Amino acid sequence: MAEADAELERLKLRKLKELRAKVEASEEKPSPPKETVEPTPLQIVMGRLTGRGRELLETAYQQYPDITEEVVENLALQIKNGRLRGPVTAGMIMQIFNLLRMPLRPKTRLVFKKHGEAKTLAELLREKLG
């Protein structure tokens, strides 16, 4: 029994030495600095957009790409500085572009519901005329 206890103690000591060596090795090696990837202005603004805001921003990029880029950069700066809190709505986007005298023309569709079916105005007219 004494031999088994002595053997067990030697195993424990050996494992303890190995663990200490690993801990010391990990402390000596400085972990490589993690690269913090800063989000782009577009990512910052997209994170705050609500409702149809994303769709409206895409429309703005199609109609006024250069100006939209500047608007997005300024919005992101305001969000970062804490001046703009809360969500960015489609109405806010529309208002910004209206103030810049660059009205956005989002795609709109008139849809009529009849007997549980949604039909566009063009489809309704085709049915009645054809």
pLDDT tens-digit series, residues 71-126 = 999 999 999 999 999 999 999 999 999 999 999 998 887 888 878 888 888 888 88
Question: Does residue 62 carry a pLDDT above 90?
Answer: yes
Residue 58: which domain range? 41-99
Question: Does residue 13 carry a pLDDT above 90?
Answer: no
Which residues are paired to 117 by β-bridges? Answer: 114
Question: Does residue 70 carry a pLDDT above 80?
Answer: yes
Residue 130 lies in a domain: no
Residue 119 lies in a domain: no
Residue 17 lies in a domain: no
Residue 83 lies in a domain: yes
d(CA 20, CA 26): 10
The tally of CA atoms less than 13 A away on the side-chain side of residue 65 is 1
Residue 22 lies in a domain: no
Residue 14 lies in a domain: no
Residue 101, phi then psi, degrees to nearest 5: 60, 40
Angstrom distances, CA of residue 101 to CA of 27, 55, 83: 60, 20, 23
Residue 73 lies in a domain: yes
Total domain count, the chain: 1
Residue 123 lies in a domain: no
Would you state the pLDDT for residue 63?
94
Would you state the pLDDT for residue 19?
82
Angle between helix 41-48 and helix 65-81 axes, rounded to 10 deg: 70
